[in-house]
Amino acid sequence: MNPLIELRKCGNMWLCLGVLLLVGLSQAINPLPDPVFETFLNETNQQLAVIYDQAVLAQLLSELRGPNDLVALLEIEVTDEKLLKFVRILTTRKAKFKRLGLGDALQKRQLAKFPQLGYEALPSRDLDRVYALASKLSDNYKNVNLCAYRQPSNCSLKLIPDIQSIVQASRDLEEIEYYWFEWRNRTGLATRPQFVAFMDLYKKTAQLNGYPRAEDYWFRSLELEAKDSMALLDHIMHGLRPLFLQFHAHVRGSLRKMHGEHLVPRNRPYPQHLAEVFIGNAFRRVEAEWYMDLPSPLTGLLNITQEMHRQGLTTTQRIFWNVAEYFRGLGFPLLESSLWNFAQPVSFGDDDRCWHKAWRYYALPRMNFTYCPLKDEERFFNMFEAQSDVHFYRSASVQPTLFQEEPFPNFSDAIGKCFSLAASSPRYLQKLGLIREKKWKELPARLNRLYILGLRTIFLLPVFYVLDRYRVEVLSGHIAADDNEAYWRFTEYYTGARAPTKRTNEQFDVPAKLLMEVDDQYASHFLSIVLQFQLLKKFCIQSGQFERDNPRKPLDLCDLSDHREVGGVLKKAMSLGSSVHYREVLRELVGEPEISVDGLLTYFQPFHDWLQQENLKNGLEVGWI
């Protein structure tokens, strides 16, 4: 903080005195910058930038050549090694400077933001074990083979895509149930000892990285202690609960209609295997006919793919420039033509999992862009996310390397998602000429849209919550690492789903749900999902596009295009990078110091009202025992 600025702002004498005292005090605590320390930080920032760039180039190569390209894989390994070597040296020197307590607050924060050793802090025997366990656990998902239903000798099916597509298409309940059990038999019990051993090594890792409580290490990227992180997650879950319970009741009602009361009894959690098939539809983006009890089946679901083509939005290049104009309208500089001229198409493998992507460098004065073929509307909305990243990277590049990351992982995803959400607003699509019928802006179509989006978000949050909650309870020693009954207590309470038959500690079902790495923390994904709605609400209020209790200006119709005031706030907040805690960034961004579920609730309010009426009308019970 510059004391001169503070003094100039000072009108009231008593306040001034206070400021002066504070300034004097903080200078006594924070000694003047030490030149040796400053040089060390400068050099660290420069050297890290160079190593990070090599890592980004290796990743980019892998993106362009495909995940099995050996040259790219080797490059990644080499740069990982380089980084590790550097971090080892840094860690020793960091400890020295930390002991001396040198530097001002920002410099101390840079020190705190040094990359950590993580597992590499373990003694070599443990290190080998931890990598072996992690890779066994994660390979298990990719490599485990399941036997086909009623074909005990046909045992080469993969969960994704084989089982997934069989189950999604199946009407045979026994078959669906069979795969639910088969998957858990093959992933759970088989990996139980590995899971338990892994969690122990994780605790040890936390200690060696300077976290006496392993659960605090779990949330280190949020820079909050475990009790504060959990309090935040609990608070959000609590706020979400009334909406979730209504939606759950509705879905349970649909499942009962499909499968009968004997399988989906009243006042009980619904069977997980049936609910997953149902909710999974929303992620597969199926046609309207697939959904049971869509709020307005006759209205159908909006799909702008064909209209995009009719309007000449037929190439990714056109989309790129249209979206670039959108961000210019928000007050960002127009992207330079070289970014597109040098952009590379990604054209191999699984077309469904291709995303447009911005690649930022830390030392190299440039950026790269990779893009996917224009398949359908998803690629259009995805462009908003990719270009939002471009602007984030550019804004944060004023910071030293150590502060250029986002305030927490997935934070900038929330900004991107906020804009793709705003771009999918029927008002904006109409402005673009991509929809012509008035009906898409009316309540029935809006409810349909909220229903699908709700399946994709509202049901996901409790699942993410349980996965983190379970592992945090394990790390803090409240439950054993393989306490399957505890896992089902959380699952039933928070997600309203139960196993097809009672599960005990004889089984172990946690690994079946951890489709990502076993140590992948879900809290930041969870918070990112919630944050996108909070940002949207803030920007829409700021631009006058949302007004509480004004039925003509609901949040789900908010169109942010051409509201330059949005860009100003955003640029300022993004340029903070991670130089301050995420709560400070939020203060800048939304004028509140914490993530709140309020935006999400406002967004879904019309749908919540509808659910309440429908559940009442159809005599559907809400909640479970």
Ligand X SMILES: *[C@@H]1O[C@H](CO)[C@@H](O)[C@H](O)[C@H]1NC(C)=O
The CA distance from 248 to 280, in Å, is 14
Number of H helices, E strands in the chain: 27, 5
Which two tokens mark 161? 């895509």
Cβ closest to ligand X, residue 65 vs residue 227:
65
Please give the single-letter amino acid code of residue 138.
S
Closest contact distance (angstroms) between CB of 181 and ligand X is 4
Cβ closest to ligand X, residue 86 vs residue 181:
181
The CA distance from 608 to 300, in Å, is 20
The CA distance from 597 to 531, in Å, is 8
Closest contact distance (angstroms) between CB of 288 and ligand X is 8
Q: How many CB atoms lie within 10 A of CB 341?
A: 9
What are the angstrom distances between the C-alpha of 23 and each of 3, 10, 90, 372, 579? 6, 13, 32, 53, 21
Closest contact distance (angstroms) between CB of 619 and ligand X is 32
Closest contact distance (angstroms) between CB of 38 and ligand X is 4
Eight-state DSSP code of residue 360: E
Cβ closest to ligand X, residue 181 vs residue 490:
181
Which two tokens mark 444? 């029935």
The CA distance from 106 to 124, in Å, is 35
Q: Are 572 and 505 in contact (CB under 8 A)?
A: no
Cβ closest to ligand X, residue 277 vs residue 529:
529
Closest contact distance (angstroms) between CB of 353 and ligand X is 11
Q: Are 537 and 546 in contact (CB under 8 A)?
A: yes
Closest contact distance (angstroms) between CB of 229 and ligand X is 16
Closest contact distance (angstroms) between CB of 307 and ligand X is 10
The CA distance from 75 to 55, in Å, is 8
H or E stretch including 506?
Answer: none
Residue 283 burial (C-beta neighbours within 10 Å; 0-12, 13-18, 19+): exposed
Query: Which of 543, 544, 542, 530 is closest to 602 using CA atoms?
Result: 530
Closest contact distance (angstroms) between CB of 390 and ligand X is 13
Q: Are 582 and 567 in contact (CB under 8 A)?
A: no
Cβ closest to ligand X, residue 131 vs residue 342:
342
The region that residue 554 occupies, defined by phi over 0 for left and psi between -120 and 50 for alpha, beta otherwise, is beta
Closest contact distance (angstroms) between CB of 528 and ligand X is 4
H or E stretch including 327?
Answer: helix 316-329
Cβ closest to ligand X, residue 368 vs residue 491:
368
DSSP codes joined into one string, 84-119 = HHHHHHHHHHHHHHHHHT-S-HHHHHHHHTSPP-GG
Closest contact distance (angstroms) between CB of 58 and ligand X is 12
Closest contact distance (angstroms) between CB of 160 and ligand X is 14
The CA distance from 580 to 571, in Å, is 15
Cβ closest to ligand X, residue 253 vs residue 295:
295
Q: Are 233 and 594 in contact (CB under 8 A)?
A: no
Cβ closest to ligand X, residue 342 vs residue 493:
342
Q: Hey, is 357 helix, strand or coil?
A: strand
Cβ closest to ligand X, residue 314 vs residue 344:
344
Q: Inter-axis angle of helices 460-475 and 523-542, to 10 degrees?
A: 130
Cβ closest to ligand X, residue 267 vs residue 338:
338
Cβ closest to ligand X, residue 249 vs residue 374:
374
Binding site for ligand X (CB under 6 A): 35, 38-39, 42, 60, 148, 151, 154, 166, 178, 181-182, 185, 285, 287, 303, 305-306, 337-338, 341-342, 344, 366, 368, 376, 410, 413, 525, 528-529
Cβ closest to ligand X, residue 121 vs residue 531:
531
Closest contact distance (angstroms) between CB of 393 and ligand X is 14
The CA distance from 447 to 439, in Å, is 12
